[in-house]
Every structure is written in structure tokens, then in C-alpha cells.
Chains A and B, each alone.
Chain A
Amino acid sequence: MTVHHQATAPAAQPDEEFRARLREFLAEHHPGRPPKDPRERLAWTKAWLATSFDNGYAGPSWPREFGGMELSFAQQVVYHEEVARARVPGPLGTGLGIAAPTIIRYGTQEQKQRWLAPMLRGDTVWAQGYSEPGAGSDLPSLRTTARRAGEEYIVNGQKVWTSHAADADIFFALVRTGTRESRQKGITYLVIDAHAPGVQVRPLRDLTGGHLFAEVFFDDVRVPVEMRIGEENDGWRLARTSLGHERAAGALNQAEMYRRVLTELEELARERGQLADALVRDRFVDLEIRVRVIRYNAERTIAGILARGAAGAASSISRLLITSFEQDIHEFAVDLLGPAGLLGKSAPQAVQRSRWLVGFLRTRASTIGAGTREIQLNTVAEQVLGLPHDPGMPPR
């Protein structure tokens, strides 16, 4: 057999008509710039989410039945591109990305009717209750208990690193219904009213000095059994549900965002006359390579999904790539600024309102939250490369 060139079929065009309609909607209803005051900003975000929901422009991957758009993957890519370009507020809380896929797949019809549309419309804010002080990387060791009492569960325990906890109306939590040793086999997926008696949210001051996260305490909180998703003790499996490839559909936006950040840093270095320094230029080359590779990788992931419905290995490493990039670019920026890089927001001499320093501190979390870098490397090694599980560790 000899290789012959055949004219390749024209690639499927993304839905340009859809793009035009979406663009028109975004231009017409654009909410403008975010207010500075946190309360006003919350209301502003909720108003936007309601507008997009009411006009049928929310939930790109969700079923139509629950107010979603049920778009093809190609259209989801277009959706995320346009939404990012328009700079409208994104979803509130972590429910949309994490809880919704589980509800859509495993919830009862009644639960779906009750929870999904209000979540998508921004009427209810959902926050996650997974991590605990004693259960981080080893999440299956979690100890918050739910004891069955008639038609209710009585929940006791503590969750930590919950973002949006202060604004939350609902917590979606993993709780222990089995024995203490039951690990994955004794975990139940429970939806808990954040305003119920016995729920206490305590803001957690993180190393940046801010309060993005909270600790959540449950003290004899009564949760009706119909708030349970799936079967008792089957929560671990359910919690790992994702909805198609929606995350990958937004991968290009992240790439675009970091491109912008790098260009802004380059501008800053140019203004300060630092680009003449060969060492500085070489550090920029390093970041330039990486930011472009993030984009190429996102393009390839998307192309893979479009061509054969599978994300492939390129997607498994994208988070590793992005988290180390965001840490390195902020630290490099602080280094570039020298002692001026150390100035806080309120110092009159602070450069760009101290954004690089804040980023330097903030991105320490990038390689910890949602799975530490070390755990992610283990996962890639075992699930993509097929290396054996550590026999000294409990089974996955």
C-alpha cells in the first residue's frame, strides 16, 4: 500500500449562526461592570444569571427539560468562547460544575424539578461540603456523620475549605452513614439546607488574609431523607459524576485568560525597561512557550472530543500545566518588581494594586485545592499510564 493524498473532508464548521444569536443576546443584555461592594456584586451576579436563564442562555450542557440548552459539544465551545469574550459573570457557587451532573444523572425526577432550575437561575447558591480537617487527600476517611432517625438524618461534624459558604443556600455534602472504617462504602450524598438550625458557617482566614473559604459546622442538623441523592452508602460513586466534556469546552477560555495575563506582565516589564535584560527575556520566553502550549493542548483536547468523543491524555495533564503556570507567572512578576513587589494594596507605591503579590499568595492553593498536585500525578500515573496502585494505601 502506498500513501496517497486524498482531499480531506471539510472540517465541521462550528455553528456560526448560533454564535451570532448568542453574541446579540450578550450585547443586548450585558450587565456592565461589576459593582465594588460585595453585597451589590452578589445581587448583580444573580440578576445576570436570571436574565440569561430566562432568555434560554444558561446551562450549555444541561438537558432542556431543566432549563438547560442541551448544546452539542462544538456549540458548547462557542458558548464558552463568547461568554468569556463578553466578560459577563460566571456561575455562582460550585453547584453547577460539581453537584448538578450528579443530580442530573442520579437524582429522582422530583429532586431534579426542585433543585436544578433554581440553581441554574442563580436563585439558590450551592456550596460543597466534602473536605474535612482530617480528610483532605484521603477524602474517603471523612467523619461527618448522618444518623438515620425515621424519615430524617441527623448530621454532625465539620467541613472545611468550603467556598461561597457565606452566600450559600444549600450544601451538597458527603457524609458517613456506614461504620467509621467503611471508607468509600459508607458514604452518602446528602443535600443540606444551609439555613437549617444547627448549621454554622465560620469564615476561615486564609494565608492571603482574605475570607474566600469557610468552615461549616453541623450540630444535630435534621435533614429529610428525600434530600439524599442515590442510595444510602452509594455517595462516593455518585460524587465522581461529570457531565460529558463541558469542562473541556471551556479550556480555550482559560488559555486565553492566561495569554492576557502574560501580555499584561510583559507590558509592565517593558514600561519598567526590564526587557533589555537577557535573563528577564529568557524567563518570558519560558512563560510564552508555556502559555501557548496551554492553548495548543486545549485545542487538541477539543479536537479529540470532536473527532472521536474522547478527551484523551492531553486533557488529563491540563490542570497540572495550568496550576504550575499560574504559580510561576505570579512569582516571576513579584521577582521582577523587586522590593516594590512586596507592597500591599494600601501602600501608595504599590504596583497595579498589588495584583501580582496577591496572586503569588493566592496561587499557593492552585496545587492543593480540588486534589493536590501529588495526588493528581498519582491519578495520571495509575489511570492514564496504568502503573500499579501503592499496596501500602487503601484501595481506590
Chain B
Amino acid sequence: MTVGYSAEHNELRQLVRGFLREKSPSREVRRLMDDQRNRDDAVWAQMAGQLGLPGIVVPTAYGGAGYGPAELGIVLEEMGRALLVAPYLATVALAGQALATSGDADAQERWLPGIADGSLTATLAVAEGSGSWDLGEVAASAEPDGELWAVSGTKLFVVDGHTADLLLVVARAPDGLGVFAVGGEAPGVERAKLDTLDLTRDLASVTLRGPLAVRVGADTDAMAWLSWVGDLALAALAAEQIGGAARCLELSVEYAKVREQFGRPIGSFQAIKHKCANMLLEVECGRSAVYHASAALAEGQPDASIAATLAYAYCSRAFTNAAKECIQIHGGIGYTWEHDAHLYLRRAKSSELLFGPPGRQRARLAELAGI
């Protein structure tokens, strides 16, 4: 599959870009980053009603568009570019893809239509105190309670966990790892937004004191399923990262063309040119890695896990570098609160560490590639 070049992909990109240009300009991003609610409800409703974006990976049978990781990647690339404040990564890339790949028809029927029509937000809670997404480190537990389950434990760094209507909690049942669906407002759920670096994407702590939950994907091999969901999430985040990196490059180039010092545009100096060209190199490579990963995931290629891990590792670094260079090229103005450069740096650093420290990804890559 060729990602990013078909007329269909191009149309999708233009559609999302045009929408976000209007709905998520800097002043909106800034308004929402101070808001406890991590979205503008009207915009979220339009994303669902007019564009069908929350349902992009939801099968058509449940009211979605029935697309896959490639199209989701294009949408996220654009959202990363615009720093959209919305629980999209959590609802769609994490929870939506987890449900869509669960093989659990009951769960899909119950929740996917809500995700597709925008009435339900959701997230996937894996990490705990260590921040690791390694399934082996999950300590939260689930005990059977009649038809349902009682879940206990504390989840940390849950993306948009304080507002999600539905929490998919990874916990240990007596028979092994499982995924448990808990209502966000269910009795026994305590959640709080964390004070964290990224002002445009919220992380939450979620403490579970025995709320009742429905088990999802009980007939599926949870380890294999969740590790696939993890790969899908890595590729999705990498796509968002490369969108952000590309925007940092654009901002830098635009500024370097107009900012004059020593009587000439700073972009005419080699030192600035080389910085920009090196940023372009990383952005283009990152994009190639993302497109390869999403195609590999969509087609279930044998190298899909490597490709997803690689894309995340590469794009993490590319985005953080681009955000830092963007500040450097802007000089003093780039160090102000008013300039958006720091919002990208915050998003970049947070995304780089969201799924565990960079060393972890590289170690996994070594393992997968047989090094």
C-alpha cells in the first residue's frame, strides 16, 4: 500500500487541514489549554457529525468510516500540526482501536457507535507508577463479581483519563491479563488531572476502588491483542509527532525568511539554512517511517511491530529536535509565553516519553530486530 499519495488520502488531508485551520487556531488552543475540559464540545460534535473523524477506524457496521491505521495517521498528522486540544488520540487511537481489534462483538456493539457519533469519549489505561506501558508491569487487579468484575489499582499518565466517559483498564484477573471497561463516573472511580508539561494534552491519575466493570475481549489472547494495540498506538502517536515536527519546520522557515538581522534575512545565513535543512531531513525520514509503519499495520505485515516501534523512536527524536530548533531559530521571541514554539516543545517532549522512556523503545527494537 502506498500511504499519503492517493487522491483519497490527499482529499482526507485537505479536509482535516481546512477544518482545523478554522477550528483550532492558536487562540483556540490557548483558550482550551487553560480549561479543565480538554475540548470544545461544538468542535468535537462537528468533527463527528460533519467529518466523521472519531469513527475513522470504527467499522462501517457500527457507524464508522471503516478505515485503518493509514487514514488515522493522516488525520493525526494534521491534528499534531494544529496542536488540536481534544481527546482524539485517547478515544480513537487508543480505546477505539483497542475495541475495533478486540474481536468482542458485544463490546463493539455497545461502545463503537457512540465513539463514531461523537457521543462517547474513551481512553485506555495501562501505565501505573513507573509510567511503563510494558504489560508485565501491570499491577491493577480484577476480581469476578457475578457477571461483572471489580477492578482495583491506580493508573497513572492516563491520556485524557479525567474526562473520558469510558475507561478501558488493563488489569490482572485470576486467569491472566484482561481489559475491563469502567464508566468514567462509576462509583469507586477517583480521577484527577495531573499537573504535567504538555498544556495541550491532559494526563490523569485514575484510582479504582472496586468499581464494577465489563470484561472486554475475554475470548481473545490478551497479550497478543494488547501488544498489537500498543503497536497501533505507537504508529498513531508517531504520525501526530511528525505533523508537529513539520509545523515547527514551517514556523522556522517562515520566520527565517522575514526576520532580518545584520541587514538581511537570517534565513540567508548558512548556519540557519543548515539547521532548517537538517530539520527537513528528519521530518521527511520520519514521514517515510510513519507511512511505512501504517501500511505495514494495515496489511498485517510481519515487520509491522518493528516498523511501528521504529516510527515512534524516530519521530520522537525528530519532533523534539524540531521543537528545540524552532525556539533557537526564533531567538528571543521563541522564548516567550506568547509564541507557540513552547507549546510544540511541551507536546514533543511529552509525546516522546508518553509510552515509556526512549531507551525502552530502542531496547524493544533491538529485541524485535534480533540484534
Contact = CB atoms under 8 A, between A and B. Distances in A.
Interface of A: 1-6, 8, 11, 266, 275, 281-282, 284-286, 288-289, 292-293, 296-297, 299-300, 303-304, 306-308, 313-314, 316-317, 320-321, 374, 376-378, 380-382, 384-391
Contacts of A386: 253, 257
Interface string B5-21: 11010001001000000
B281 A317 contact: yes
A300 B295 CA distance: 12
Interface in B79-122: none
Given A288-B371, A293-B285, A313 B56 contact: no
Contacts of A313: 280, 284
Contacts of B267: 381, 387-388
B5 A387 contact: no
B291 interface: yes
Given A300-B287, A378-B273, 12 more contacts: A2-B52, A3-B12, A3-B51, A289-B365, A296-B292, A303-B5, A314-B287, A317-B284, A317-B285, A378-B277, A381-B274, A384-B280
Interface in B224-276: 249, 253, 256-257, 264-265, 267-270, 272-274, 276
Given A2-B52, A3-B15, A3-B65, A382 B292 contact: no
Contact of A391 (B4, B50, B264, B270): B264
B288 A314 contact: yes
Given A3-B56, A289-B313, A300-B288, A284 B366 contact: yes
A388 B278 CA distance: 16
A321 B277 CA distance: 12
Contacts of A284: 366, 371
Contacts of B278: 377
B42 interface: no
B314 interface: yes
Interface string B38-60: 00000000000011110010001
Contact of B270 (A275, A282, A384, A390): A390
A297 B284 contact: yes
Nearest to B19: A1
Given A4-B65, A285-B371, A303-B2, A388 B281 contact: no
Contacts of A303: 2, 5
Contacts of B5: 303-304, 307-308
Nearest to A266: B371
A289 B310 contact: yes
B65 A11 contact: no
Interface residues of B, number: 55
Top 8 nearest A-B pairs by Cβ distance?
A381-B273, A307-B5, A2-B52, A296-B288, A387-B267, A5-B66, A377-B277, A296-B292
9 contacts: A3-B71, A8-B8, A285-B365, A289-B365, A296-B289, A317-B277, A381-B277, A385-B253, A390-B269
Contacts of A288: 310, 365-366, 369, 371
B362 interface: yes
Which DSSP category, helix, strand, loop or mixed, fits chain B's interface? Answer: helix
Contacts of A297: 284-285, 288
A316 B288 CA distance: 13
Interface string B272-310: 111011101100110111011000000000000011001
B335 interface: no
B223 interface: no
A384 B281 CA distance: 11
A385 B280 contact: yes
A292 B289 CA distance: 8
Given A2-B51, A5-B60, A303-B5, A293 B288 contact: yes
Given A2-B52, A5-B60, A293 B289 contact: yes
A390 B268 contact: yes
Contact of A377 (B56, B257, B273): B273
Given A314-B288, A388-B265, A374 B270 contact: yes
A51 to B, nearest CB: 36
Contacts of A300: 4, 287-288, 291-292
B57 to A, nearest CB: 10
B366 A281 contact: yes
Contact of B65 (A5, A304, A306, A388): A5
A391 B268 contact: yes
B268 to A, nearest CB: 4
